[in-house]
Structures are given as structure tokens and as C-alpha cells.
Structure 1
Amino acid sequence: MLAREALREFAEEQNGMLTRRQAVEDLGLSSGAVDNLVARGRLDRVAHGIYRYPHLPGMADEQYQVALLRTGDPDAALSHETALQLHELSDVNPARYHVTVPQPLRIRRSDNDRYVVHVQPLTARQVTWWHQMRIVTPAAAIEQCLVYGTPTYLLRQAIDQGQRIGSVRNDDATRLRAALETRT
């Protein structure tokens, strides 16, 4: 298989994007080959070490894919207030992208103020998919936001909306409301 075809197939799984690390470690390309693909316009640089395959349709919300890819962890998931916003459960409007990884990571980049990386092992029951990206479930996002300090009115709104549309089970809604009332 040609490198270009392998890149395309890999990028298709991630909304048209991939990292330099994935190209080198998973696809066997050299770092120089990646640089050549960028120079020839076969890959577009989106962020440090993150590229878009230009011959695939992009997505309007590619910044969320970038947030996941920049962690370098395949088990990373969109979380906290970012997940609440994407699940459309409340009027929360996070100033930064929240991502949860199972193990501590050290990410050194100049744009770190745009991202919050939380460390929490997630079970399979706590994770779902949104536009080919891992994201915590509505109930897990509300739980995370309880601890994170999201305003109470936004969490009440999220629980009510989630229960109304069926994305938060009744027993979870009851448990989350009780936790919200006892939050200090």
C-alpha cells in the first residue's frame, strides 16, 4: 500500500486528521517523509505535530479532534464542560477544551492555555462517541462538572435536559441531583 493511501485510511478514522507520531510509529513513515508530504501539499499542518489530509472532507468542529490528538493518548476523551456543550445539555460555554486521559501526561506546547487535560481512568460505560471522537457520556460529564466546580444552575439544567431527552437515565438523574444538593 502506498504511503498516501495508508495516510488517507488512517486519517479517515480521525475526521481527516493524524499526528506526526501516528504517521511515524503506526504507518512507518520517517519524519522527513512527513515533512516532504507537508511541503508538497499532501498534508496540511493544523497545529504542532497535527496534520489534516486535504483530500478528505473536513469537519466544522475540527478543534475538538485537535484537542484529542494533541494529548497523544488514543484513550483520551472529550470531557467536563466541553462534553456538556457537545451533548447540548446546558448553556455552558467553556473557555477552554476539556479532555480526560487515563494516565498523567506532560504536554509542552505554547497553546496549553486553550486546553485542560484531566486525569481520570474512564470505564467503557462512561465513554461514547461523537463524530468519530471519544467523549464522556452525559452522566459522566455532569459528574465531572460537579467536582470541577461548574455552576449549579448549569448542572441542574443539564440533568433536567438530559433526563427529558433520554440521554441521562432516571436513576442517574436522581443520583446526580442528590450529589448536586450535597456539593459544598
Structure 2
Amino acid sequence: MLRDRTDTRAALWRVASGQRGYFTSAQALQVGYSYQAQRYHAQRGNWQLVDRGIYRFREFDTLPGGEDDHLVRWALWSRGRAIVSHTTALSVHDLGTANPAEIHLTVPPGFRQKGGLVILHRAELAQDEIEEREGYRVTTPVRAIIECAEASVDQDAVDSAVAEALDRGLTTRRVLLHAAQRLGARAELGTERALQAAQ
């Protein structure tokens, strides 16, 4: 049975609205847009081609967006396997002075895709180290801090993130130290320095 075009668009809009207007070619296909129809909508300007197999409804350009809208694109690019992390996660949580020029993502060890515009870190994250956001996932404030300490990010950025996380009641000294110890010696050292600076 043929689907009404309005119903098809509404179905795709529902998917995209939970992803800040972004959607994949596979998601469009699933609701009823053939590859030929997808090309048509991209060529007509109804959809913006963001990356290979990733589109965005043009209407979302005129809507007020968040500073992290672009992170949804990378979640879709990774097929939902990437988690925003490190200094990018600190920025999402508005912690400290980190202002990353690059986007940092943590992916599973077996992840094969390459992204020239992102820095990939490979690790298995526990569920309690991840927060769900609209259209993407991000490491928790504690995980973001300790992974930055472990990656030897500028100590001032780690210090300011720790001070703000403690001030805002997002964590405690004990929780931070325990998490850093599990990650390793470099994470522990950077976290200890930040905690001393916060005294």
C-alpha cells in the first residue's frame, strides 16, 4: 500500500525532531523515502546534505538552536556508538575554561570509521559514566574531568573544571579521586593537582 507523502514527511519529522533536525539516509528509507526521493529533496534544498548519508531539514536553520546541535551530527555519523568526551564534554557541561577547537569522541575499541574533523578516543565506558542528551550522549562531568586529566590536557583547564564541579555540587573530592584511580596514574595525578588547587 502506498503511503501518503504527508504521512511520510511527518514520520521523518518525528525522528528528526528528537535529533535537532538531523536524520540519516537509513532513517529516511525506513519511513518511506527511496534513495531517489532522498536525492530529489537534497537537490531541491528541502533537506541539507550535512555529510555522507546525513541530512537536516532546512527549517531547523531558522529555529533557535543550541550550541551543541552539531554534536548530533557526529552521533549519527558514528551510528550512535560515539560519546562526546574529554574537553568537548567539559564544554557541554559548561565546566571550566576548556574551549576545544576539536570535537572529542570516545568510541568502542573496535570502531573502524575515520573522521578527519574529530579526535577519536577508544574506550569501553560504563553506563554510569554516560549521560543522555537530545540526539547524542556525553560523558558525565566526573568522567570528563578525569579523562582530561588522563589525556594530559592543560592543567589549568582541569583545575577550573574541578573547582566549578565542586562549587556546583556535581561531585565530591572522594568521588573524583576514586574515579581517577580507576582510570590510571596520569588521571590520578592530574586530578590530585586540581583538587589541591581548589583548596
Quick check: TM above 0.5?
Answer: yes
Q: Secondary structure at the match of 1:55?
A: helix
RMSD: 2.5
The yes-or-no answer on 1:125 pairing with 2:128 is yes
Could you tell me how far 1:16 is from its partner in structure 2?
0.9
Q: Where does residue 71 of structure 2 map in the other structure?
A: 64
Match of 1:78 in 2: 84
Aligned residue pair count: 178
**CA-to-aligned-CA distance 1:89-138 (integer Å, 9 cap, x gap):** 11112121011223532325xxx332012222222211113444311100
Is 2:143–2:179's contact at 8 Å kept on the other side of the alignment?
no
Alignment of 1:142-157 (within 5 A): 142-157=145-160
Give 1:3 deviation, angstroms.
Answer: 1.9
Residue pair 2:86, 2:147 contacting (<8 A) in 1 also: yes
Partner residue in 1 for 2:176: 173
State the distance in 2 between where 1:127 and 1:70 align: 19
Deviations 1:2-37 (A, max 9, x none): 22111101101101111223323x435322221122
Q: Which moved more, 1:158-167 or 1:148-157?
A: 148-157
Would the alpha carbon gap of residues 65 and 181 (structure 1) be closer, same or farther in structure 2, given more than 3 Å must change?
A: closer
More helix by share: 2
Quick one: distance in 2 between partners of 1:122 and 1:16?
27
Q: Matched residues in 2 for 1:64 and 1:83: separation?
A: 10
Change (3 A) 1:106 1:18: same
Name the CA shift for 1:164/1:176 in 2 (closer, same or farther; >3 Å): farther
Q: Which has the larger radius of gyration?
A: 2
1:8 and 2:17 aligned: no
Aligned-pair identity in percent equals: 27
Q: Which runs of 5+ in 1 are unaligned?
A: none
2:40 is aligned with 1:36: yes
Residues in 2 aligned to 1:132 and 1:171: alpha-carbon distance in whole angstroms: 32
Task: Assess if the C-alpha contact under 8 Å between 1:95 and 1:114 holds in 2.
Answer: no
The residue aligned with 1:100 is: 106
Separation of aligned partners in 2, 1:177 and 1:5 = 46
**Paired amino acid for 1:44:** Q
For 1:133 and 1:102, the matched residues in 2 are separated by 15
**What's the TM-score, normalizing by structure 1?**
0.82
Q: Which amino acid aligns with 1:76?
A: A
